[in-house]
């Protein structure tokens, strides 16, 4: 309970999630969305754009949207009489007005071609800016002294796939924060372990196409994928992260310093994804460390 009202957070975690209500609108960037006061308010075309308003202003605006929706669709008659849950006006035997309102509602659910085009262009713009600045910030992070001392790459190639997921497939279960952070970091640790073990073999040279290099590549990827599945943190770029450690000499030469670079770049791209996606009307993340039932509008 927050302020005497039911929490907007998952009722099953009301004690743990109540801070999400108190921290609104900053908690928007954690993926939290408060529900409308009534389901009909969510049907208003502007309902997705008022998340930044303080709670009193937001609730007042949505209450107006609900009232407008009900009057336009015949759910409230001139005398203020509301319709029943079945859609019929209380006291009206035929319910003809209800059927008319229902038909209008069904028609409004279909977006126009122009709306579809605008939505597609907006989505592409968000992806473009998200990817550009995400990779730019990640590459600038490659100037860190510890990375330059060990001649590390400006940004590991695995983060090309990371950017695609974070800025174009942000709703995927494989793109949630625990997958990004732990999937990449654990895979980097396992990749370095496999590389160091194979370097004990006199015939192994990182980057070579012969000898037992095929086994190092296969083992590093299979091991990282198995551990990610076991821990339920499967993340596609994590596989590439492990593979780079045993196949690219520049990465292998970093040794254990490869792990903090992976963690650092993961946090940079993740932080930017939380800002860019939520500012643009998307919702990210969908969940954190537990299964959440936060309301999505």
pLDDT at 152: 93
Task: Render 83-143 in DSSP notation, one character per residue.
Answer: BPTTSPBTT-SS-HHHHHHHHHHHHHTS--HHHHHHHHHHHHHHHHHHHHHHHHHHHHHTT
- Dihedral pair phi/psi, residue 92, rounded to 5°: -100, 115
Please check whether residue 179 is in contact with residue 264, taking contact to mean a CB–CB distance below 8 angstroms: no
pLDDT at 35: 60
Q: Which residues contact 274 (CB under 8 A, 6 or more apart)?
A: 29, 30, 31, 284, 285
pLDDT at 36: 53
pLDDT at 98: 46
Tokens at residue 34, please? 């408060």
pLDDT at 167: 94
* Per-residue CA distances from 201 to 192, 212, 216 (Å): 15, 9, 11
- Residue 149 falls in which region: left (phi positive, over 0), alpha (psi -120 to 50) or beta: alpha
Tokens at residue 62, please? 């949505």
Alpha-carbon gap, residue 248 to 207, rounded angstroms: 5
Beta strand spans in 131-185 (E): none
- Dihedral pair phi/psi, residue 79, rounded to 5°: -85, 5
Query: Model pTM?
Result: 0.68
Q: What are the structural domain ranges in the chain?
A: 11-108, 115-279
The Cβ-side half-sphere exposure at 105, using a 13 Å CA radius, reads 18
pLDDT at 133: 96
Alpha-carbon gap, residue 61 to 59, rounded angstroms: 5
Tokens at residue 29, please? 């960037």
Alpha-carbon gap, residue 193 to 256, rounded angstroms: 9
- Residue 101 falls in which region: left (phi positive, over 0), alpha (psi -120 to 50) or beta: alpha
Residue carrying structure tokens 């957070």: 9
Tokens at residue 249, please? 């000499």
Task: Render 19-76 in DSSP notation, one character per residue.
Answer: HHHHTTTGGGGGT--PPPSSGGGGGSTTGGG-TTS-HHHHHHHHHHHHHHHHHHTTSB
* Per-residue CA distances from 186 to 23, 41, 69, 248, 267 (Å): 32, 44, 51, 18, 14
Residue carrying structure tokens 């907007």: 8
Please check whether residue 250 is in contact with residue 153, taking contact to mean a CB–CB distance below 8 angstroms: yes
* Per-residue CA distances from 105 to 95, 108, 109, 116, 197 (Å): 16, 5, 7, 18, 65
Tokens at residue 12, please? 């099953």
DSSP designation for 176: S
pLDDT in tens, the chain (297 residues): 334 444 444 444 444 456 777 777 777 777 777 665 455 555 554 555 555 555 566 667 767 777 777 776 666 655 556 655 455 554 444 444 444 455 544 445 677 787 888 888 988 999 999 999 999 999 999 999 999 999 999 999 999 999 999 999 998 999 999 999 999 999 999 999 999 999 999 888 888 888 899 999 999 999 999 999 999 899 999 999 999 999 999 999 999 999 999 999 999 999 999 999 988 888 888 888 755 444 333
């Amino acid at each position: 309970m927050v302020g005497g009202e039911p929490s907007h957070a998952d009722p099953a975690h009301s004690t743990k999630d109540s801070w999400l209500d108190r921290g609104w609108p900053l908690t928007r960037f954690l993926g939290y969305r408060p529900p409308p006061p009534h389901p009909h308010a969510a049907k208003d075309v502007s309902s997705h754009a008022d998340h930044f308003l303080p709670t009193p202003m937001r609730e007042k605006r949505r209450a107006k949207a609900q009232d407008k929706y009900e009057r336009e669709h015949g759910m409230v008659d001139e005398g203020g009489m509301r319709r029943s849950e079945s859609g019929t006006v209380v006291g009206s035997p035929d319910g003809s007005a209800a059927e008319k309102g229902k038909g209008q509602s069904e028609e409004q659910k279909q977006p126009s071609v122009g709306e579809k085009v605008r939505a597609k262009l907006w989505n592409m713009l968000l992806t473009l800016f998200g990817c550009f600045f995400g990779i730019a910030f990640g590459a600038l992070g490659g100037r860190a002294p510890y990375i330059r001392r060990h001649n590390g790459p400006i940004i590991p190639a695995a983060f090309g796939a990371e950017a695609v997921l974070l800025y174009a497939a942000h709703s995927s279960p494989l793109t949630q924060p625990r997958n990004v952070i732990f999937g990449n970091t654990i895979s980097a640790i396992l990749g370095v372990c496999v590389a160091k073990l194979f370097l004990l073999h006199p015939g192994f040279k990182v980057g070579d196409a012969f000898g037992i290099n095929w086994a190092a590549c296969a083992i590093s990827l299979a091991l990282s994928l198995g551990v990610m599945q076991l821990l339920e943190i499967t993340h596609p770029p994590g596989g590439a992260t492990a593979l780079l450690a045993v196949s690219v000499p520049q990465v292998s030469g970093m040794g254990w310093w490869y792990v903090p670079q992976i963690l650092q770049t993961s946090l940079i791209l993740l932080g930017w994804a939380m800002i860019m996606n939520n500012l643009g009307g998307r919702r990210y993340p969908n969940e954190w460390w537990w299964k959440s039932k936060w309301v999505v509008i």
